[in-house]
Amino acid sequence: MRTIFVTGGAGFIGSAFVRMVLERESDVAIVDYDALTYAGNMENLAGVDDTRHTFVHGDICDREAVLAAMPDGCDAVFNFAAESHVDRSITSAGEFLRTNIIGTQVLLDAARERGVRRFVQVSTDEVMGSLPDDSDEYFTEASPLQPNSPYAASKASAEFVVRAAQETFGVDAVITRCGNNYGPRQFPEKLIPLMIANAMNDEPLPVYGDGRNVRDWIYVEDHCAAIWLAYEKGRSGEAYNIGARNERYNIDVVTAILDLLGKPHSLIKYVADRLGHDRRYAIDPAKAENELGWKPSITWEAGLAATIGWYRDNQAWVDHVRSGEYREYYRKMYGATLA
């Protein structure tokens, strides 16, 4: 039995990863370490009752707690834990720097102390900045790191502390850089679940700027599969860009959601643009395809329909995460009160 240490496993992507590994890999046990911030939610792990899954409540910046939870000689650390929302990083960057940079350093130090074989850093395409509108340029692994938001800067910095651990101490590490994920259990501060939840409640859908920013969307399970392959087959010291060749204008994503829910386009409300709003992300995933043998398996049409279906079927989850802190966040962010 191999043991892996997964951080952020109660979040959107981390919980999908935990489910995937338990389902597919019968010889893997997981220690799932999460601070349960506003974005972490034990409901995301509902139904995960496998004896191979152990949940530990803790902060990745807490060195003693990390060392206590990380088993000696475990095979890998997968670092999903992060502050992940760009808008929140614009309002207040401190927690992003603490969790995303200091937390990564603490995990790297602990991994060395515990003799972990491989460190997988879950990074993002946003570290590479923004591409020009309507160009045929793509992010590749050779693209310079040019982060534009405090969130992206913290994730780029995390990549640098991983690199430093490799160069200085010979830590075996791989980095994955994925584009925009969507799927079940995503916190509704992000575009797709926010638009689904608002549309389901007949509330306005706030589109930033001219709605013509481009994101490269991937279904969360395809991202998780790529992370697993990077762990199993990736070359130490390498980064892998992960994307499904699925660029979309924001406005087209929003209208597709309204159409699938049978709601009117009149719910769309253009609002002030995000500060420093990256114009376009587009990933060239050729290296992951060629070296890892990865390719996405879920089309945009199937993935979006499945996502909307999940939110429709899980109204209690939606109502729960939209209560409390979220209502206050929404009021400050959008100047509107949720019904």
Q: Which residues are catalytic?
A: 125-126, 151
**Rule CB under 6 A: is residue 179 a binding residue for ligand DAU?**
yes
From the CB of 188, what's the least distance to ligand DAU, in Å? Answer: 9
Nearer to ligand DAU, 3 or 213 (CB): 213
How far is Cα 189 from Cα 326, in angstroms, rounded to an integer? 8
Question: Based on C-alpha coordinates, what's the Rg of the chain?
Answer: 19
From the CB of 35, what's the least distance to ligand DAU, in Å? Answer: 17
Pick the binder of ligand DAU from 206, 234, 296, 303 (CB under 6 A): 206
Question: How many C-alpha atoms does 288 have within 13 Å on its Cβ side?
Answer: 31
Contact 322, 201 (CB under 8 A): no
From the CB of 248, what's the least distance to ligand DAU, in Å? Answer: 10
Enumerate binding residues for ligand NAD (CB under 6 A). 7-8, 10-14, 34-37, 39-40, 59-61, 80-84, 99, 103, 122, 124, 155, 178, 180-181, 187
From the CB of 181, what's the least distance to ligand DAU, in Å? Answer: 7
Binds 19, which of ligand NAD, ligand DAU, none (CB < 5 to 8 A, cut-off by type)?
A: none
From the CB of 190, what's the least distance to ligand DAU, in Å? Answer: 4
Nearer to ligand NAD, 157 or 267 (CB): 157
Nearer to ligand DAU, 173 or 191 (CB): 191
Contact 63, 104 (CB under 8 A): no
Nearer to ligand NAD, 84 or 130 (CB): 84
Residues in the chain: 339
Contact 108, 165 (CB under 8 A): yes
Question: Which element (helix H / strand E) includes 157?
Answer: helix 150-169
Which of helix, strand or coil describes residue 283? strand
**Rule CB under 6 A: is residue 118 a binding residue for ligand DAU?**
no
Q: Which stretch binds ligand DAU (CB under 6 A): 62-70, 123-131, 219-227, 232-240?
A: 123-131
DSSP assignment, residue 101?
A: I
Which of helix, strand or coil describes residue 196? helix
State in Å, rounded, how far the first CA of the chain is from the last one: 49
Helices (H), the chain: 12-24, 63-69, 86-91, 94-97, 103-113, 150-169, 191-200, 220-233, 250-261, 286-287, 300-313, 315-321, 325-334
Q: Which stretch binds ligand DAU (CB under 6 A): 60-68, 130-138, 207-215, 217-225?
A: 207-215
Q: Which stretch binds ligand DAU (CB under 6 A): 68-76, 119-127, 131-139, 234-242?
A: 119-127
Compute CA 9 distance to the chain's CA centroid, rounded to the nearest angstrom: 11
Question: How many C-alpha atoms does 334 have within 13 Å on its Cβ side?
Answer: 21
Q: Which stretches of the chain bind ligand DAU, using CB under 6 A?
A: 84-86, 124-126, 179-180, 190-191, 194, 206-208, 213, 215, 250, 274, 281
